[in-house]
Structure 1
Amino acid sequence: MASPSPSLHSSLTVRHGVCLVAILTVLAYLLLGPTEPTLWRASAIIVLSIGLWATGWLPQWLTALVFFTLCTVASVAPTSTIFEGFASAATWLVFSGLVIGAAIHHTGLGNSLANRVGPRISSSYAVAIVGVVTLGLMMAFVMPSGMGRIVLMVPILITLADHLGYAPGRRGRTGIILGGIMGTFLPTYAILPANVPNTVLMGAAEAVLGEPPTYSGYLLLHFPVLGLLKAILLTGLMLKLYPDTAPTPLSHPGPESASLGRREQALSLLIAIAVVLWFTDSWHGISPAWVGMLAALACLFPGTGLMPGKPMQSLNFEPFLYVAGIVSLGALAHDSGLGDHIAAGVLSLLPLSAAPDWQVFGMLSGLAMTLGTMITLPGVPAVLTPLAPELANITGWSANAVYMTQVIGFSTVLLPYQAPPLIVGLLMAKLSLREAARICLIMAAASIVLLWPLDYLWWQLLGQI
């Protein structure tokens, strides 16, 4: 008799069993328990979903589908609330990022970029680190999807490390690859469409307050400190932790002098137009999501050659479902009244009403950072944004200023598990989670001590608080 498939045994774990029991327990409560109050029924689904997302015991997309199914089966809210995420600009911004990333890979634009960057950063190891961190940060302006950007960047970084002569096992190789991964991750929370928490924040603000932040306004508020200064801080840390000798580039790195092909030129022009429109959204009024979708439609249109013959098969829809689920969870928390109850609990613990502005700034930012360790980063805006109106009344701040403090908190990443794209990048590059955790912890401490006070002063200068 043939033995059972080992892959089947390895995929059925105790954790999956615990998740299944939890799901069935909540389902039984929803179907057999009291129909009122709706708050408790919605809370049961929200707590289950956040627990599954926080532990990562089920795939994120599957948890999103569990959320949608339980909400619909139990009729805990109107359909418009349950599926709010699919109407959110944040979700479609993620989709457009997935398409643009696939197009960059299909056309070979990513490889061309690696061939052109290599010779320009080979003069010294310090220049190489500055180059890859800068490349990662600049990619965030071009590609509005953290997961897609990581998937694209890792092969480029590995190619660059090989080209510069840093073999596996050398500190320089770890510095080049990890520096690029962190460069396209930690400072990019200061760019609106660059990471899932940012886009969830945009969707949650739209659902709760009726108006999402603009690209340019968000960039002005956050990029000088949380983007530029954090990138400089990261560069110095990488040079300190992973010192190495100067690069020894390969004599024949590849056709970096060759001109771009027709498809690469077309995609480059399309991305350049999209970037210009993202930067000027406060002038023309078109949401970054729909700018991204226009670019995605151009990529997907038959005959352009920017995507494979069956383009939808080349896309990974997991981030799309995840963001739709997390935005819908935030809408349900707001509409069910759970947000108000959480606000009451938060206010009982934090003396926000009597505190000076700098303490309010620190407490709200710290709350977002701490919450990110429990529900992962994309869950922070889903939970906290519904509290913004109530917290604004208590603190005397504007609702915009209150929910923008979340960016300071969720951009201060304590451990890699909080951010799925970071984990994906580390696994792709075969880097140690321990190395990444060390970077995250040191950067978090430096951010709290150095960048948070500077950010507070920057907000005051802008008149935000």
Structure 2
Amino acid sequence: MSSSATSSPSPESGEQAPVRYATTPPRPPGLAPKDTPITWAKDNVPSIVGAVLLLAFVAWCAFEAFGPTPADDARLPAQGALTLAVFAIAIWLWIFSSIGDTYVALGAAIVLVLTGMLSDSQLFSSLGEDTVWLLLAAFVIAAGVTATGLSTRAAVYIVTGATGVRQLVYLVTGVLVATAFAIPSTSGRAALALPIFVALAQALHDRKRLVLALSLLFPSVILLSAVASYLGAGAHIITSQILQTSGYEGFSFTTWLIFGLPLAVVSSYACAELIMWLFLDKEGRSQKLDVSVEKLEEHTSMPLTGPLTVGQSRAALLTLAVVLLWCTESLHGLHPAVVALLGALLATSPGYGLVTMGKALKTVPWSMLLFMAATLTLGTALVESGAADWLAHRVLGPVSDAGAAAGVVFVVVVVVMSTAAHLIIQSRSARSAVLIPIVVSLAPGIGVDPMAAAFASTAAAGFCHTLTSSAKPVTLFSDVEGIETYQPKDLLRLSAFLAPVMVGMVLFFSFVIWPLMGMPLFL
């Protein structure tokens, strides 16, 4: 290709400076010139180490499946080896690549179908699971409630009753715990709570330490309180489905509420106290406040006073009715998904509706639903191929050598692993898809109830506060335009104290509280 040059006067010297017009197309962004030397970036080291470990794991699986083994019952089935290889590659891509989690999960599921590890009916049936319909309908109901402004108005009304810092923190915590039953997603709850935080932060702009504490409180409580509800996180549904696939009863909305709500309340308020202790001094914790509705209305376009609108009244009645029907399934026999669908139809009905069906469906996180369905398929493949059982005995099998204390050691290891897993696998659903099949496979042989162990693992996985990338609510509140929130060092400081507190709390509930409530830990 050729280029031409013309001249134009230089603004500084008055001389003619050459102006070049190249006919060669510009280099795509991020593509280095040919003569640029190739260098190793420090950011590539973890992915390279991960790739080496991935290859070693795949080689180990191949050797266990096709190499000499001392006992036939210790051999990994060939189907299990292939399933583990696909699953390991998916985990590597979840951790180190920029490819979307849903794309990776669907790709892995398709590979298992093409290789004969799964039937196409198993893949497609996961999209028709009752839990997928339950979440879909719940999102439609949540869209209607949000559209009326009821949730924001109720939260602001409660918060404005605070006369001191500790009271404000406690009221915010209570409101956030309650949202676990209205919004079936931690990301959705974070998006709903963000305007409330912004209004509070602007009204308290002269108290920077309090704003910092509130910015940590909102995402922390949202994540910890999700365990209160069966719909609080996709991981809860995945856990129940894997249990059912393995031949166990699984959890319903009511049973999850019974065991999860106490932990959600205790852990949320413990976190609130910890945040105040770490980021507010004694004087800051005892300060008086005057957060009025009028002051908050200055920072929001939504009216916060006056009687409830017709839509808000209908939204309140609809939410109350749906939650009550979910909690009384044993009395009326209606499946929770059917109740949710009835609520969704009512929320979008032409006469009574709070929002149109089209607008409500646009708010549904379809990517999350597809991801959940795909990970359910992967979990099924791990169980049915024998991979989960083999891996459980290989990885956690040495725990059984602890003798009489094997069950105790097993539960402690599971809870610690589940708490730390967010540093490797960011998606809570993906963590459950990886850990729960292993836990369920190994627990009976050590004398531990699989349902109790799976519940403890899922509850512990709710801790994901260490990095801004560890969870979407943490990411959302880390960068709020016009408001100074927390820095990475603040998250690390909080996590250093909160992680051991959460491990101890889940273990205490596992060994003491849940057995007293009807979920024994040991068989």
TM class by shorter chain equals 0.7 to 0.9
The answer to whether residue 147 in structure 2 is matched with residue 147 in structure 1 is no
Pairs within 5 Å for 1:123-138: 123-138=163-178
The alignment status of 1:358 with 2:391, answered yes or no, reads no
How many angstroms apart in 2 are the aligned matches of 1:424 and 1:99? Answer: 25
The partner residue of 2:398 within 349, 353, 368 is 349
Q: Distance in 2 between matches of 1:118 and 1:237?
A: 20
Alignment of 1:331-346 (within 5 A): 331-346=380-395
Q: Where does residue 456 of structure 1 map in the other structure? A: 511
Kept after mapping to 2: 8 A contact 1:343/1:390: yes
Deviations 1:402-424 (A, max 9, x none): 32221343134362467533344
Structure 1 counterpart of 2:345, which letter? L
| Letter matched to residue 310 of structure 2 | R
The CA deviation string for residues 125-149 of structure 1, in whole angstroms up to 9 with x for no partner, is 1111111111111111222222211
Partners of 2:455 and 2:153 in 1: how far apart?
37
Correspondence for 2:499: 444
Q: Tell me which of 455, 460, 474 is aligned to 1:409.
A: 460
Counterpart check, 1:182 vs 2:220: yes
Give the distance between the partners of 2:81 and 2:225, measured in 1 at CA. Answer: 38
Structure 1 pair 43/230, CA: closer, same or farther in 2 (3 Å)? same
Question: Which AA in structure 2 matches 1:151?
Answer: A
Rounded Cα–Cα distance in structure 1 between residues aligned with 2:430 and 2:128: 18
| CA radius of gyration, larger in | 2
- 1:167 deviates by 1.5
| Structure 2, gaps ≥5 residues long | 1-21, 33-42, 63-76, 298-302
Q: Contact (CA 8 Å) 1:171, 1:242: kept in 2 or not?
A: yes
Match of 2:15 in 1: none
Would the alpha carbon gap of residues 299 and 437 (structure 1) be closer, same or farther in structure 2, given more than 3 Å must change?
A: farther
CA distance in 1, matches of 2:372, 2:504: 32
Picking from 121, 128, 140, the partner of 1:99 is 140
Partners of 1:3 and 1:285 in 2: CA distance: 71
Task: For 2:433, give the aligned amino acid.
Answer: A
* Bigger shift: residues 46-55 or 279-288: 279-288
Q: Displacement of 1:198 after TM fit?
A: 1.5
The number of residues matched between the two structures is 449
Displacement of 1:101 in angstroms is: 3.2
Partner of 1:426: 477
What's the CA shift for 1:286? 4.1
Q: CA deviation at 1:335?
A: 1.8
Change (3 A) 1:314 1:229: closer
Q: Is the 1:39–1:336 contact (alpha carbons within 8 Å) kept by the matching residues of 2?
A: yes
SS at match of 1:315: coil
Pairing 1:161–2:201 present: yes
Sort the Cα spacing of 1:361 and 1:38 in 2 relative to 1 into closer, same or farther, 3 A.
closer
Whether the aligned pair in 1 keeps the contact of 2:227 and 2:462 (CA below 8 Å) is yes
**Distance in structure 2 (CA, Å) of the matches to 1:5 and 1:91:** 47
Q: Deviation string for 1:26-81 (max 9, x for gaps)?
A: 9xx9xxx9xx9333332232112222223462222222332343334444311233
Instruction: Say which is worse superposed, 272-281 or 385-394, in terms of deviation.
Output: 385-394
Larger deviation: 83-92 or 267-276? 83-92
Query: How far is the alpha carbon of 1:233 from its aligned partner?
Result: 0.7
Cα distance in structure 1, aligned partners of 2:434 and 2:409: 21
Q: Which of 44, 60, 74 is the matching residue for 2:85? A: 44
- Provide Cα deviations, 1:288-336, integer angstroms capped at 9, x if missing partner: 4443333233334445442257323343322212211221211121122
The alignment yields a C-alpha RMSD, in angstroms, of 3.7
Structure 1 residue aligned with 2:246: 208
User: Given that residues 157 and 176 in structure 1 are in contact (C-alpha distance below 8 angstroms), is that contact kept between their aligned partners in structure 2?
Assistant: yes
- Give me the whole-angstrom Cα distance separating, in 1, the residues matched to 2:208 and 2:26: 38
- Distance, in Å, in 1 between the alignment partners of 2:26 and 2:351 is 43
What's 1:382 paired with?
Answer: 433
| Inter-partner Cα distance in structure 1 for 2:31 and 2:254 | 45
Write out per-residue CA displacement over residues 378-420 of structure 1, whole angstroms, 9 at most, x where no aligned residue: 2232223333553233122333223222134313436246753
In terms of fraction of residues, the more helix-rich structure is 1
* Contact 2:180 2:225 survives alignment (8 Å): no
CA contact (8 A) 2:419 2:461 kept: yes
Equivalent residue number for residue 269 of structure 2: 232
Q: State percent identity of aligned pairs.
A: 20
After superposition, the Cα gap between the structure-2 partners of 1:440 and 1:396, relative to the gap in structure 1 and judged at 3 Å, is same
Contact 1:177 1:429 in 2 (8 A): no
Partner amino acid, structure 1, of 2:291: P
Range moving further from structure 2, 74-83 or 136-145: 74-83
Question: Which AA in structure 2 matches 1:400?
Answer: M
What SS does structure 2 have at the residue aligned with 1:246?
coil
Amino acid aligned to 1:361: V
How far off is 1:10 after superposition?
A: 7.5
Q: Is the 8 A contact 1:90 1:323 kept in 2?
A: no
8 A contact 1:82–1:332 mirrored in 2: no
Contact 2:242 2:379 in 1 (8 A): yes
* Whole-Å separation in 1 of the counterparts to 2:319 and 2:328: 14
CA–CA distance in 1 between the matches of 2:390 and 2:375? 19
Q: Provide the C-alpha distance between the structure 2 equivalents of 1:249 and 1:278, rounded to a whole number of angstroms.
A: 36
Is the alpha carbon distance of 1:238 and 1:257 closer, same or farther for their aligned partners in structure 2, counting shifts above 3 Å?
same
1:321–1:352 distance in 2 versus 1, CA, 3 Å: farther
d(CA) in 2 for partners of 1:447, 1:209: 30
**Matching residue's letter, 1:342:** L
- Rounded to whole Å, the distance in 2 between the matches of 1:4 and 1:264 is 57
* 2:111 corresponds to which of 62, 70, 78: 70
1:368 lines up with 2:418 in the alignment: yes
User: CA separation in 1, counterparts of 2:275 and 2:510?
Assistant: 23
Aligned mates of 1:211, 1:218 — CA distance in 2? 12
The equivalent position to 2:354 in structure 1, one of 291, 294, 306, is 306
2:150/2:312 contact within 8 Å kept: yes
Three-state SS of the structure 2 residue aligned to 1:192 is: coil
Aligned-pair distance for 1:276? 1.0
* Aligned-partner SS, 1:194: coil
1:316 has 2:372 as partner: no
Q: Shift in Å at residue 155 of structure 1?
A: 1.6
**Deviation for aligned residue 1:253:** 3.7
Q: 2:480, 2:470 → 1: CA distance?
A: 16
Query: CA 1:11–1:87 in structure 2 vs 1: closer, same or farther (change >3 Å)?
Result: farther
Counterpart in 2 of 1:249?
291
Q: Which residue of 2 is the match for residue 259 of structure 1? A: 307
